[in-house]
Amino acid sequence: MPDQVPNFNNETIAKLAKELYGIEGEISSFVSFEDQNALIKTANDRFVFKIANKRWSRDFLSMQSEILDYLKVTAPEMTFPAVIKTLTGETITFIDGHGIRLLTYLEGDILANMPRSIELYQDIGRFLGQFSKAMQNFNPPTTDGSDELWKLDNVIACKKYLPDVTDLDARDRIARLYVYYEKNILPKLDSLRKAVIHGDANEQNFLITPDNPTKIAGLIDFGELQFASQINDLAITLAYALLDEDDIAMAANNIIESYDREFRLEDMERDILYDLMAMRLVTNITMTSHSAKMFPDNKYILTSQKSARELLKKLEDEKYILK
């Protein structure tokens, strides 16, 4: 809801940054859909000032901070944002119902802007596999999590928005995918390994090392954390990493096998991986179609799903799904 979305001006952010954290610097905004994020550039450092949507609970925001602290201990060789505490030692401060947090800023180019290579695909799999291995023993303080309609385990909830998909070829393919999913995949979900997952390890959240375009520098944006089937992280990464990729076999195999070397896939997980990947694309297409119906003046929404529709068609044409 619009009244839950934060809209703090730069003057207010500057005031809060100084009062809460004792920092002063140049402020600029990051693009964010439901929350508000700002970059604060001081004389010596850069920070991300995060203002949460009112609908996110304290427990959910606290879990995001706890996981970043947990990863510093369990995966010290990996790079993630670090939580900065307030001058009084708090990790979260609520202002007008919005949770305020401060994180370190990670250097790097987003994966979406980088040329792809075998080596880069391998490193995506390596990094994600190490992340999954680190997360398998995290004990979540809450099962509260992100948007229910974007949870892959809950993809069946998006089915009601299928009529909003205006591309008839895509709508037919998604309808057939739902039939297959309900019969062959849904009954297996309870048997899959569960853990807290990132939930959105996509081409916007993987950072690439500035001086090495084949190396993952880190992973950001833990706002989609959820307790879920652990294989979903790999399925989601594949869904976004393969957008606009001509050679699906090359890209997917390098990601999957590098992941498997770090965190061994179970047979059932491997068997249904492409089906889960396809269902993430289904979520993307149905939810953006629904958003386009709700906001008809926003022409970008449907344009942004074009690559997802093309990838879903290619997956069927090349017999990865609906065989």
Helix (H, G, I), strand (E, B) or coil at 103: strand
State the pairing for strand pair 206-208/194-197. Answer: unpaired
CB 38 within 8 A of CB 48: yes
Cα separation, 105 vs 47, in Å, equals: 5
Tell me how long the chain is. 323
pLDDT in tens, the chain (323 residues): 557 889 999 999 999 999 999 999 999 998 777 899 999 999 999 999 999 999 999 999 999 999 999 999 999 999 999 999 999 999 999 999 999 999 999 999 999 999 999 999 999 999 999 999 999 999 887 766 778 899 999 999 999 999 999 999 999 999 999 999 999 999 999 999 999 999 999 999 999 998 999 999 999 999 999 999 999 999 999 999 999 999 999 999 999 999 999 999 999 999 999 999 999 999 999 999 998 888 887 766 777 799 999 999 999 999 999 98
Give the dihedral sign, CA 59/33/5/25.
Answer: positive
Cβ atoms within 10 Å, residue 284: 24
Angle at 54 between CA 53 and CA 59, to 5 degrees: 95
Query: 2-105 has which fold?
Result: Phosphorylase Kinase; domain 1 (3.30.200)
Cα separation, 48 vs 67, in Å, equals: 17
Which tokens hold the place of 322? 């609906």
pLDDT of residue 302: 75
Which tokens hold the place of 100? 């305020």
CB 83 within 8 A of CB 65: yes
Q: Which residue has the tokens 């190490």?
A: 130
Domain with CATH 3.90.1200.10 in the chain: 110-317
pLDDT of residue 108: 93
pLDDT of residue 77: 95
Cα separation, 201 vs 232, in Å, equals: 10
What residues contact 41, with CB distance under 8 A and at least 6 apart? 25, 26, 27, 28
Within the chain, residue ranges assigned H as helices are 10-16, 58-74, 118-135, 168-180, 232-241, 248-262, 267-294, 300-304, 306-317
Domain with CATH 3.30.200.20 in the chain: 2-105
pLDDT of residue 300: 67
pLDDT of residue 184: 98
What residues contact 263, with CB distance under 8 A and at least 6 apart? 129, 130, 132, 133, 136
Nearest to 69 by CA among 107, 35, 103, 22: 103
- The amino acid at residue 117 is S
Helix (H, G, I), strand (E, B) or coil at 76: coil
Q: Report CA 152 to chain centroid distance, whole Å.
A: 11
Cα separation, 86 vs 17, in Å, equals: 9
Nearest to 313 by CA among 200, 184, 167: 167
Cα separation, 66 vs 101, in Å, equals: 12
If one looks up domain 110-317 in CATH, what number appears?
3.90.1200.10
pLDDT of residue 2: 57
